[in-house]
A = this chain, B = another copy of it.
């Protein structure tokens, strides 16, 4: 039995061709949009509906199999690296997205200077900048 099948079963998720293909697509696209993942899936199993893509990605995010990030000015991105507290670095010019570990150790990000009585459950950090490739073209 394939790893992916086992993964779904252990999470109590019925195994379908679409879900397996989405899992596979995520492995090839570390930070793909729903549309990009749909394309990847179609290249493997022929077709998948928009709705199934969103259903699948949504339930995977709920079960903790995937993480969804929603950067300003971009559709949501999905990534398979979960369970750690890493953040993202995004190029303003080309959208290239890379993972970065938390700057200040393990999980200190969760402490805001003044929490206004909120119970904080996540600190989302996005570093914006310019990637090496775009630096070259813009300074020319």
Contact = CB atoms under 8 A, between A and B. Distances in A.
Contacts of A73: 70
Interface residues of A, number: 42
A118 B91 contact: yes
How many copies of this chain? 2
A113 B101 contact: yes
Interface string A76-96: 100000000001010110000
Interface of A: 68-70, 72-73, 76, 87, 89, 91-92, 98, 100-104, 108-132, 135
Contacts of A76: 72
Contacts of A102: 113
A103 B111 contact: yes
Given A112-B87, A119-B135, A126 B127 contact: no
